[in-house]
Amino acid sequence: GYWKFDAGSDTIAYDHSGLANHAAINGATWVSAVDSLAACGVDRYQSPISLSQSPPGAEADDYTMNSDGTLKTPVDWSFPAISGNGDIIEFIVRSDWHSKRPKDLQILYGKKVVASWVHPSKESGGCAQNLDDYLQNGLSINASDCNTSTPSYSTGILNTKIDFSEADTLKLRVLSSWTEHGIYFNGAWVRGGDYCERESSVMYVSTKGSDLTGDGSLSKPFASIQKGINFSRDADTVSVAAGLYIENIDFTGKNISVVGVNRIRTIIDGDSSGTVVTINSGEDSTTLLKGFTIRNGIASRGGGIAIRNGSNPVINNVIVSDNRSNIDGGGIYVNKARASISNTIIKENNSDGVAGGLYGGEGANVTVTNSQISNNVAAIRGGAIHTRKETSFHLKNTLISHNSSYEGGGFSSWYGSFNVENITVIGNTSTTHRGNAIFLRETAKMVALNSIVMGNDSNVIYLEDLESSFSATYSMINNGWEGEGNIIADPLFCNLKKNQYSLWENSPLLGGGKDGANMGAFGMGCDVPKPFEWISSAVDTVNITKSNLTDIYKLEWTKSNNQFGFVKYKVYASVGSSSYEEIHDTTTTNFPISYQDFYEGAFESFPTVSAATVKFSVVAIEGKDTIKVTGSDRLVFVNRYEYLSTSNEQIPTDFALYENYPNPFNPTTTIRFDLPETSDANLVIYNMLGQKVRTFQMNNISAGTHTVKWNATNDLGEPVSAGVYLYQFRAKGFVKNQKMILLK
């Protein structure tokens, strides 16, 4: 290794590595720790204390090893009681056998990992003559010169203050080997000294990193999040780059922050092999999980996240989705622990038992703010949330929507208590109608303030016994509920069909809460076009003659208001059974259409018919949000009988086909033909390979001069390429061909 040190002359730097790599750097002076009264770390005057020449069990082959060297079940070796001075600072292991070196090692203090390190490999790690050589010079023998008689060493530095009296609470855990040949130890020591806190640091993780060669730095990140956790200490941050991480992680008792760069693009996938994130070793409130999607976990309890054993983490800005539990808590499981959950989405999780979204077990204390719990399913009860005895849940500014269960589509509780403020409960379902929104039993209680609770029928709130209670004030409860300030009213949500539950500016729930607060989770904020209606009649008729082509038909609708942006409108039209096409966009609330436009637009694809039905629809648009006009599409029957009528002296005397105009053309041209009598007619357009491109079949066409307009598309409506085309006209034995050129 090396030190990069940019300080100037006379700067003193202290080497705590134990490798005695003293050197002058930019004129600085290396001073050992014992030479400085301010230094802390290993006591160089205290000899390493030998624990065992061979840690029992590690070399006994009493383990199952996978082909990649990982152990199916880790090997644990408990420390003996040790007499020493001060704190345990380092743990040193030796392995002689070059083909059986251990790899990933940990020291555990109870369930908490207090040291993590990697023993060097045969190919790159090197060796030392003996322990003294290692302590003075490190692994000074090159890897190529190592053999079975030159031992390898490695050191784990404890990240927690543990004095020698607690030594027998520690254990060495072996997670893997460098090869599938096994694991061999030949010595273990501890060194004492004075433990000192260090400033927090950052461990970096990236899908482009490596757990073999990475060191957790920004330039050499680890590849797995668990590796970053293993090498971190309390107050550290594990910074995770965007990407997909297929693993199951455990905080291992460390009070650290594990932070993804973006909760949409930073994904931890549990690969259906257990809980995705485990926090169950007493982690405190400085522990943070932030910026991830947690998905695809399957466990008996807590498919996505499991929090237990007095832990108290913060979960912020996380998506917990598509996880499953066999018993409790498809999304998140909290038991005998606390949790603060904010700005989090818990959605589309499943439980074969209770609590599709979030479970609170005995002694759980959970706070949920500014979050959404939606579309979760529980087989028995509590589609969104279920709690049991001695639990306390506090929810604020949170949406509970479209969850389902046998009992308690939204909430269910036995013995537990809820305090909820400014929540919106809507669209949840109990398949037995026992509390579509809320199910309470066995002294369970809920107190609601400034909230909205809605459901599909009268059993929105179901109290199974007299000991359970629900009370609400300044709230809107479906079908009403006794309590100060409660109302029954249409909330005027922005858009129920799109699950947008902010309120329009004229909602009676704005300012209807206690002390003028709003009701519900979101308040005012409909950044979407407001519903609007037709003014035009549902059915109209337009009769086209040669003298009224400049007349106007006006399509009209009411204004769609928006609280924050500008609204524009798009008009769509369909002729007959054809698909709708956009024909106009505007910021006004009407669209004038001339009869000439009707004549050209309605009959372009049907040149020989005398009447057509045109349907109109309008959509209001603001940004990415759209809303269609209320009511059925408007119908306009367009007739051109009179326009097409021809006097006797104008009837042609012969069948005829004329050259198209214009020719060459792009993109449309008109083909004219004469019929001296009523007849069926057929016009077919071919490419130069003789393949049919477009067919116009016209039946019972009246005598006269007629036109067909071709827009350079085939029978499927697809544009055709530039080139020469032939068209053939047939009517009552008359056949004639012409040539035309399409330019592009």
Contact 70, 60 (CB under 8 A): no
Contact 385, 410 (CB under 8 A): yes
pLDDT < 50: residue spans in the chain: 1-39, 57-60, 646-648
Q: Which CATH number fits domain 539-644: 2.60.40, 1.10.1240, 1.10.287, 3.30.70?
A: 2.60.40
3-state secondary structure of 546: coil
DSSP 336-405: SSEEEEES-EEES-EESSB-SSEEE-TT-EEEEES-EEES-EEEEE-SSEEE-TT-EEEEEEEEEES-EE
pLDDT at 55: 57
3-state secondary structure of 554: strand
Contact 288, 255 (CB under 8 A): no
**Cα separations in angstroms, 177 against 63, 64, 102, 182, 223:** 12, 11, 4, 7, 18
Q: What is the dihedral of CA 621, 627, 630, 635, to 10 degrees?
A: 60
Burial category of 559 from C-beta neighbours within 10 Å (exposed 0-12, middle 13-18, buried 19 and up): middle
Whole-number Å distance between alpha carbons of 600 and 640? 11
pLDDT at 25: 45
Contact 103, 121 (CB under 8 A): yes
Whole-number Å distance between alpha carbons of 82 and 163? 10
pLDDT at 458: 67
Burial category of 557 from C-beta neighbours within 10 Å (exposed 0-12, middle 13-18, buried 19 and up): buried
Residue 117 has, within 13 A of its CA and on its CB side, a CA count of 18
CATH fold for domain 272-491: Pectate Lyase C-like (2.160.20)
DSSP 145-183: G--TTS-EEEEEE-SS--BGGGGGGEEEEEEEBSSTT--
For residue 367, the cross-strand partners are 340, 394
Whole-number Å distance between alpha carbons of 346 and 321? 6
pLDDT at 34: 30
List, for residues 628-649, the tens digit of each pLDDT value.
Answer: 999 999 999 998 877 776 444 5
Closest listed residue to residue 663, CA positions, set 615, 579, 724: 724
| Dihedral pair phi/psi, residue 269, rounded to 5° | -105, 120
| Dihedral pair phi/psi, residue 711, rounded to 5° | -105, 25
| Omega before residue 221 within 30° of 0, cis | no
Where exactly are the structural domains of the chain?
49-194, 272-491, 539-644, 648-742
Whole-number Å distance between alpha carbons of 313 and 342? 11
pLDDT at 1: 32
Whole-number Å distance between alpha carbons of 142 and 144? 5
When computed from its CA atoms, the radius of gyration of the chain, rounded to whole angstroms, is 39
Whole-number Å distance between alpha carbons of 201 and 207? 20
Same-fold call for 272-491 versus 648-742: no
Whole-number Å distance between alpha carbons of 102 and 179? 8
pLDDT at 647: 40
Q: What is the dihedral of CA 591, 596, 597, 601, to 10 degrees?
A: 150
49-194 CATH: 2.60.120
Whole-number Å distance between alpha carbons of 256 and 238? 8
- The H or E element that residue 14 is part of is strand 12-14
Residue 726 has, within 13 A of its CA and on its CB side, a CA count of 10
Entry pTM = 0.63
Closest listed residue to residue 293, CA positions, set 325, 260, 326, 324: 260
Contact 207, 244 (CB under 8 A): yes
Whole-number Å distance between alpha carbons of 514 and 472? 11
The amino acid occupying position 48 is P
3-state secondary structure of 35: helix
- The H or E element that residue 601 is part of is helix 595-602
Dmax (CA) for the chain in angstroms is: 127
Whole-number Å distance between alpha carbons of 85 and 192? 6
Residue 374 has, within 13 A of its CA and on its CB side, a CA count of 16
Contact 76, 171 (CB under 8 A): yes
pLDDT at 563: 61
Place of tokens 């065992």: 52
Q: Which CATH class is domain 648-742?
A: mainly beta
